[in-house]
Amino acid sequence: MKLSTFGQKITSNSGINLLMDDLGRALSEKGMLMLGGGNPAHIPEVQQCIRGAMQRILERDGAFERAIGDYDSPQGNPAFIESLAALLHRECGWDVGPRNIALTTGSQGAFFILFNMFAGRYGDGSFKKILLPLAPEYIGYSDVGLEPGIFRAVQPEIEYIDDLLFKYHVDFQRLEAVDDAGAICFSRPTNPTGNMMSDEETQRLMRLAEERDVPLIIDGAYGLPFPGIVFSDAAPQWSPRTILCMSLSKFGLPALRTGIVVASEEIIAAISAASAIMCLAPNRIGATLANELIREDKLLSLGRDVIRPYYQSRADRAVEQLRRELRGIDCRVHKPEGAFFLWLWFRDLPISSQEFYERLKARGVLVVPGRHFFPGLEGEWKQRDECLRISYAQNEATVQRGLSIIADEARKIYSQYER
């Protein structure tokens, strides 16, 4: 098959494609402990509410038929957008109206549009990048650039919290030296580390973006105001120069592929124009269901009262277990401040994170090797190959068994290479 440059890029076996394929195949293997993917937990109380919302839609005259039978505009469902704008205005105090919101095909669809809109070759010949202020960052950004080399990531500072936990912080000195940003972007909380950029750090990044006259993209897929999987006392942040990307996925609706962008009218118009070309219109069922949850006053309260405490207690228990089982192993865990991942840093790991991943897979535990989470980071940094990402969203017995095997295998690896 003869392919264009684009065709070659989009079909190539990039590291992430191979990994996702591997994860997908392992899923069908019976007994595999899935600590690898980004699927949210099936939380019974959340699912019950969504079921109830769907039932009300089914019972309302013509509502279901419209939800499945009509295209929306490229910007997305007007009724949902209107109630969401009112909610954000009321609850967060943001000066947003319906012209500040667009829906996309998952938030992944929004990143594809935004990154290619702000990074790459400009009309004046310059080449601009998406500046990721804190590596490691989300694996799903890696391959969305239509042009190669669209990311620049900055190595963070490390704070040691106790004998197990550590935390990354933005190294503003390094960050401010970067001068080729077309936009700045970070996930809040961060996939893979569970790091939560503080309000002060976020505001400092907002000021930096303003000085550079570039947008600040906040990836709030797990964050604020919903689904609110945040364990620190951070607040939702937005300004007219900020592009906040949210999603219904981690709320519990990943199959409905609904992303939400809150931004200036100009950006929203641009996203809508791109959506028209790429997919005509975004998913209407996700919007209809989420609108029903807003009517019932459940969209924020479920996050606050059910989803956040659920993951918080999972994180606490996983850390407690690791504190016991990793004793004597030189491993540190990033302080979990949100999302549903643990980032394990095995210091001076004698094998690569890929080999560690293979050894765990052979023992029936699926994780994600850390090396894929550093898009745009130049230079050598040992940590690239010393880390694993583990999801604690699966049922508790699975996570417990998986963590025990990981600790046991790590002990074996270190002692094997000791002599």
Q: Which residues bind ligand PLP (CB under 6 A)?
A: 38, 106-108, 138, 140, 187, 191, 219, 221, 247, 249, 254, 259
User: Within a 10 A sphere around the Cβ of 127, how many other Cβ atoms?
Assistant: 13
In terms of residues, how long is the chain? 419
Instruction: Give 74 or 136: the residue with its C-beta nearer to ligand PLP.
Output: 136
CB of 37 to ligand PLP, least distance (A): 8
Phi-psi region of 93 (alpha: psi -120 to 50; beta: other; left: phi over 0): left
Question: Smallest gap, in angstroms, from Cβ of residue 36 to ligand PLP?
Answer: 12
Q: Is the dihedral of CA 407, 18, 185, 282 positive or negative?
A: negative
First-residue to last-residue Cα distance in the chain: 52
| d(C-alpha 248, C-alpha 251), whole Å | 5
Q: How far is the CB of 219 from ligand PLP (least distance, A)?
A: 5
C-beta closer to ligand PLP: residue 387 or 413? 387
How many Cβ atoms sit within 10 Å of the Cβ of residue 393? 23
Q: Is 4 left (phi over 0), alpha (psi -120 to 50) or beta?
A: beta
The span from the CA of 82 to the CA of 99, in Å, is 9
- Half-sphere exposure (CA, 13 Å, Cβ side) for 126? 9
Least distance in angstroms from the C-beta of 345 to ligand PLP: 19
DSSP category for residue 326: T
Q: Is the dihedral of CA 161, 166, 168, 174 positive or negative?
A: positive
- Of 138 and 346, nearer to ligand PLP (C-beta) is 138
Nearest to 163 by CA among 394, 304, 324: 324
In the bound complex, what is the minimum distance in angstroms from residue 412's beta carbon to ligand PLP? Answer: 31
Give whichever of 106 and 303 is closer to ligand PLP, judged by the CB atom: 106
Unique residue bearing structure tokens 């009517």: 295
Instruction: Give least dist CB 363 to ligand PLP, A.
Output: 25
Looking up tokens 């750090």, which residue turns up?
A: 201
Closer CB to ligand PLP, residue 57 or residue 221? 221
Distance of closest approach, residue 244 Cβ to ligand PLP, in angstroms: 12
Residue 96's CB is within 10 A of a number of other CB atoms, namely 23
Structure tokens at 362: 């052979």
**Between 373 and 414, CB nearer to ligand PLP:** 373
Angle at 147 between CA 144 and CA 149, to 5 degrees: 85
Nearest residue to ligand PLP, using CB? Answer: 106
Question: Shortest approach of ligand PLP to residue 275 CB, angstroms?
Answer: 14
Least CB distance to ligand PLP at residue 388 (A): 16
Of 390 and 413, CB closest to ligand PLP: 390
Output 140 or 252, the one with its CB closest to ligand PLP: 140
C-beta separation of 346 from 387 below 8 A: yes
Cβ nearer to ligand PLP, comparing 154 with 221: 221
The secondary element (H helix, E strand) that includes residue 363 is: none
Is the CB of 281 or the CB of 405 nearer to ligand PLP?
Answer: 281
Taking the complex as a whole, the smallest distance from the CB of residue 134 to ligand PLP amounts, in Å, to 13
| Closer of 3 and 10 to ligand PLP (Cβ) | 10
What DSSP character marks residue 99?
Answer: G
Give CA–CA dist 82/75, Å, rounded. Answer: 12
Q: Which residues contact 32 (CB under 8 A, 6 or more apart)?
A: 26, 364, 365, 366
Q: How far is the CB of 196 from ligand PLP (least distance, A)?
A: 12
